[in-house]
Chain A
Amino acid sequence: DAKTTQPPSMDCAEGRAANLPCNHSTISGNEYVYWYRQIHSQGPQYIIHGLKNNETNEMASLIITEDRKSSTLILPHATLRDTAVYYCIVRGHGSSNTGKLIFGQGTTLQVKP
């Protein structure tokens, strides 16, 4: 699975959009980009995933560059409850993949009032 690089920390004002970047320059053609977050003292929570098209769900939007070497997770209106560690993960799909998640250090997002 490809390695990802994220900034260690970011701040965001409450109510503003939070844009979390991730580099995955060695991603292969059949690998997806996943985002999870971990709120203090809880287990990680799935947010969103994508292959090459932009994706949006009720939690966030995922923007993947055309060359797929980087992506951005967007929380459109950050709240204090969005303060967490955000992990960008690359993994393959298909019957030969077990779904093992390789977590890096993630980005600690601090949403401030």
Chain B
Amino acid sequence: DAGVTQSPTHLIKTRGQQVTLRCSPKSGHDTVSWYQQALGQGPQFIFQYYEEEERQRGNFPDRFSGHQFPNYSSELNVNALLLGDSALYLCASSLDPGLTYEQYFGPGTRLTVT
């Protein structure tokens, strides 16, 4: 049983560019959350997708957007990249987490903005 997978593993972009990160949830999970983790910090919640809609959003600008597909996989898009967007981006999946307990995290995508 595959766990949460993310692609790509590493990515280098230039300021002002756009990036798309991808996440496939654990089999049977329908909810995907995205987190940003800067070096030396704990992960920060970006947003969560459930039933193909954004259900909750953290304190991130509109440059951060997402999508969930009918197969529950998800994308995180970041426009107009800034140096400060360099971080590890984590995807977590679960069954409707308001009702269940565990969230499973993927290995993350390391984004470097130069």
A-side residues, CB < 8 A to B, are 34, 41-46, 49, 85, 87, 93-106
B33 sits at the interface (CB 8 A): yes
Task: Please choose the segment from B40-48, B68-76, B77-85 that sits at the chain A interface, where 4 or more of its residues have CB less than 8 A away.
Answer: B40-48
Known: A43-B106, A45-B105. A103 touches B44 (CB 8 A): yes
Closest CB in chain A relative to B7 CB, distance in Å? 14
**Bound complex: CA A42 to CA B102 (Å):** 17
* Residue from B41, B42, B50, B92 in contact with A43 in the complex, judged by beta carbons closer than 8 Å: B92
Give the residue name and chain of the B residue nearest to A98 (CB): B56
Known: A43-B106, A44-B90, A95-B99. A100 touches B43 (CB 8 A): no
Closest CB in chain A relative to B37 CB, distance in Å? 8
Q: Which secondary structure dominates where chain A touches chain B?
A: loop
Interface string of B50-77 (1 = CB under 8 A from A): 1000011010000000000000000000
Query: In the complex the two chains form, is B4's CB within 8 Å of A43's CB?
Result: yes
- 8 closest cross-chain pairs (CB), A and B: A99-B97, A43-B105, A103-B42, A97-B98, A98-B56, A46-B102, A103-B43, A44-B105
Q: Which residues of A contact B102 (CB under 8 A)?
A: 46
* Residue from A43, A44, A87, A94 in contact with B98 in the complex, judged by beta carbons closer than 8 Å: A94
Q: Which residues of B contact A102 (CB under 8 A)?
A: 45
B103 sits at the interface (CB 8 A): yes
**Bound complex: CA A88 to CA B58 (Å):** 19
Query: In the complex the two chains form, is A101's CB within 8 Å of B98's CB?
Result: no
Closest CB in chain A relative to B77 CB, distance in Å? 20
Closest CB in chain B relative to A35 CB, distance in Å? 12
**Bound complex: CA A45 to CA B35 (Å):** 14
7 A/B residue pairs, CB under 8 Å, sorted by A: A42-B107, A44-B90, A49-B101, A95-B98, A98-B55, A98-B97, A101-B45
Q: Which residues of A contact B90 (CB under 8 A)?
A: 43-44
**Bound complex: CA A49 to CA B105 (Å):** 16
Query: In the complex the two chains form, is A101's CB within 8 Å of B48's CB?
Result: no
